[in-house]
Chain A
Amino acid sequence: MTTVAVPTTATSTPTEAPVRAVIPPAARTGLLFRIFKFARSWLVLGLAVVLWQVVVEVFDIPPYILPAPTEMIASFADNPGLFLEGLWATTLMSLGGFGVAIVVGVVLAVLMARSALFEELVYPFLNIIRVMPTVAIAPLLIIWFGRNALPIIICSFLIAVFPILVDVAHGLTSVDEDLVSVMKLANASELSILLQVRIPNALPYLFSSFRVAAPGAVVGALLGEYIGSREGLGYLITVYSAQLNTAAVFVLALLSCLVGIVFFNVCVWLERVCVPWKTVVR
């Protein structure tokens, strides 16, 4: 830490140059250092995978308990089309559920923020649906709608909609009252206040709710597929686990993670693009 000390005494005049030499090595942003910084988390992940392989081989763990990473790769390479089709189906279902959740969540939030009566009447129902476990509803949905995309999208929707609804409603109502006063002094209509103040104020809340809702939508879709479907990662998990094909189940679990991670990161990126005032730096 001693290298950090930059001379601040009166003896150092602005014309003196050596201040540059005092920058500690850790603060240097050389190319190698940046690559290391970027790659170090992947490095740890890679080491963990290697460790996994070693443990499985050293202790001779049977593949139906814990398959080695190489076996998982082999399992995927054996029938990549099947896995990728499942991945695609699940992605579509999640996107569908998430999309419907955004529309319904935002509309309900606006209605609830605009009308206290609506909120009073609808809130109990929403709370019941919210606490009701999706696992319990999913079989019902399949009885009602059959083994098709609809119940899966509804499952995905049910998990994703509440974070969006709650956060957006909060964003719409947590507007600074003084800013509303500024609008009222300009004789703004309630609609302009909604459009110009409440909705922009709620946007960061919307995007931050996506961080919870988007992975939730994926989980919901998987659940729906798991319980009653003929395609998708969730369905394939039921098939392979029944066959005790643990390596394939691991591959499917990892692919499910992949969908969730992609959804999450797309949302984080969208947040940065769509609400730049939250990330503006000085």
Chain B
Amino acid sequence: MPGSSQPYISRAEPPVATLNDERVRLQDVCIVHGRGDKAVVAVEGVDLRVGAREIVSIVGHSGCGKSTLLRAIAGLLPNSSVQGDLSVMGRTPEEARKSGLISMVFQESVLAPWRTVERNVTLPLEVARGRTRTPGRTASEQLELVGLKGYEKRYPKQLSGGQRQRVSLARALMMEPEVLLMDEPFGALDEITRDEMHSELLRIWEATHASIILVTHSIAEAIFLSDHVVVMSSYPGRVADTISIDFPRPRRNELKDSPEFARIAHRIRLCLEQNR
């Protein structure tokens, strides 16, 4: 597999925690849509490892299969279309999904407009089958964490785009996931709100124990948030490069203006251009 020839981590010392406490592991994963003559290879030979409390971003051109990859990790794709070794917390994605280990945030907040903010946040718990553990935070506490204290009784329509996305995040965290998948979560927001949401996400993430896999179009977003940035090539989607981001945490928005930040951004941009 040509895509997998590159090391998935370019860090000098392999992070010990990552190796011992692996949450998501993809080895030589291929995703094929359709069958027979109409089969289209969306993703090919992808290796990826995500450790505990790590944030890994996947960047790539539109249609490179990054969202498909995320849906495969979430166990939302039919088994027949996913080949290779793919595990979440040592289980198949489907098992992990059924055990409530995975939550997902999408580009649109996809809230239920007929439910108040609070009841949107509790929706996953209401319908979760075979779930016995009680959540560590109530819906109100969860909303307070995402900065929406006092908004419990509002309807989604009464909120701004950024606020709705915060509700969506609170809903995802209500399940106390081990792995949080985010599919361009800030893609529909304006730039100022986006910047604000970046530092907010990091603050909220500090308060949880989730690992995050984030699909994004924004190079700056990927660098600012992540421990590792995976750059994907297109048609079919392969891992072109994996870049470790060693900026210490907590990170502040000023980081985005530093020369080191610009250097990494430049490297990712070059990599994307070479792998159209």
Contacts and interface: CB of A to CB of B under 8 A. Distances in A.
A186 B100 CA distance: 6
Nearest to B108: A178
A178 B175 contact: no
Interface stretch (B127-135, B189-197, B199-207, B219-227): B127-135
B110 interface: yes
A275 B114 contact: yes
Interface stretch (B55-63, B118-126, B230-238, B250-258): B118-126
Given A181-B74, A181-B76, A282-B158, A186 B175 contact: yes
A183 B108 contact: no
Interface string B125-166: 111111100000000000000000000000111100000000
A184 B108 contact: no
B123 A196 contact: yes
A275 B115 CA distance: 11
A216 B175 CA distance: 47
B106 interface: yes
Interface in A165-224: 176, 178-179, 181-189, 192-193, 196-197, 200-201, 203
A181 B114 contact: no
A178 B102 contact: no
B4 to A, nearest CB: 28
A90 to B, nearest CB: 35
A277 interface: yes
Contacts of B242: none
Contacts of B108: 176, 178
Task: Using C-beta atoms within 8 Å of the partner chain, give the interface range for chain B.
Answer: 20 to 34
Nearest to B175: A186
A131 interface: no
Contacts of A192: 126-127
Interface string B71-113: 1001010000000000000000000011110111010101011
Given A178-B110, A182-B124, A196-B123, A187 B158 contact: no
Nearest to B155: A280
Nearest to A200: B114
A182 B104 contact: yes
What interface size band does chain A fall in?
A: 20 to 34
A269 B175 CA distance: 38
A178 B184 CA distance: 13
Nearest to B102: A185
A277 B113 contact: yes
A212 B211 CA distance: 51
A187 B155 contact: no
A183 B129 CA distance: 11
Contacts of A280: 155, 157-158
29 contacts: A176-B108, A178-B106, A179-B110, A181-B71, A182-B104, A182-B110, A183-B124, A183-B127, A184-B76, A184-B97, A185-B74, A185-B102, A185-B124, A186-B123, A186-B127, A186-B175, A187-B98, A187-B127, A187-B129, A189-B127, A192-B127, A196-B112, A200-B112, A200-B115, A277-B157, A278-B113, A280-B158, A282-B157, A282-B158
Closest 7 CB pairs of A and B: A186-B124, A188-B127, A192-B127, A179-B110, A178-B110, A178-B106, A200-B114
